[in-house]
Amino acid sequence: MLHCLFQGFVKLTGWLPQWLIFRTKTTFEDRSVQGRGIRGKAIVVSNHNSIWDFAVLLYAFPFRTLRCAAAEVLYAKNPFMTAMLNLLGCVKVDRGQCDFSFLERLKAVLDKGGVVEIFPESRLPDREQDTRPLPFKTSYVYLALESDAPIVPVYNNGCAFSRERLQVVIGKPIDVRALYDPALSEKENAQTINLHVRRKIIELSQNVRSPFPFGENEETEETAVS
């Protein structure tokens, strides 16, 4: 309950500053589906540009509390950052350990009808070297299959703090069970669904101006589960 109240406070007090800074334009793949926001449980999956992406999506979904999977490096910055992440309801992911207990914590949120937010690229891209989006990790797919939660794909053009206007495109929810092939193994299904979601986010980026090359490596497969 505390994180719900704190996120509400942040949204109310930060609405004008974020609008002046980000000038976000939010569009929808199908407004008739998403115009009233997310209903019920869901996993929001987005490409990753900067540490500000969580704030961007916080205001893209103003009427839902987003529980974000946050990397351990953020918790190591300082006690103030750790306290803020905890107040916002973030779930710590330790990428250096083979510990997937964070999936259980996220599933618990979904089981209560909540919304979780995951950036499956798992790290920030190198501005000079990486082609975007990076390969996606598949843990969010397993979470979706286990919880029966739809995946809401989101594209963010990464123009925060720039002269260009920041644009967010929200895609139609993806039913992962409808994509599941019983003839394939669970791992093969996870890889197939992962590529489908990644390609959908690349598709959402079409006709949106971005300062970064995006989509050139769209056939890259990722098999890691983290």
CATH number of the structural domain spanning residue 141: 3.40.1130.10
Residue 200: inside a domain, yes or no?
A: yes
Does 222 fall in a domain? Answer: no
Residue 97 lies in a domain: yes
Count Cα neighbours of 20 within 13 Å in the Cβ-side half-sphere: 5
DSSP 134-198: PPPPSHHHHHHHHHTPPEEEEEE---TTSSSPPEEEEPPPB-HHHH--TTS-HHHHHHHHHHHHH
From 65, 62, 44, 53, select the one nearest 153 (Cα to Cα): 44
pLDDT band for position 99 (cuts 50, 70, 90): confident
pTM greater than 0.95 (yes/no): no
pLDDT attached to residue 119? 96
Domain-embedded: residue 163: yes
Could you give the CA distance from residue 215 to residue 119 in angstroms, rounded to a whole number? 16
Domain that holds residue 146: 2-7+23-204
User: Would you say residue 224 has pLDDT above 70?
Assistant: no
Domain contains 17: no
- When pLDDT is averaged across residues 108-125 and rounded to a whole number, the result is 94
Question: Has residue 180 been placed in a domain?
Answer: yes
pLDDT bin (cut points 50, 70, 90) of residue 223 is very low
Residue 226, in any domain of the structure: no
| Count of the separate structural domains present in the chain | 1
Looking at the domain assignment, is residue 99 inside a domain? yes
Which pLDDT band holds residue 225 (cuts at 50, 70, 90)? very low
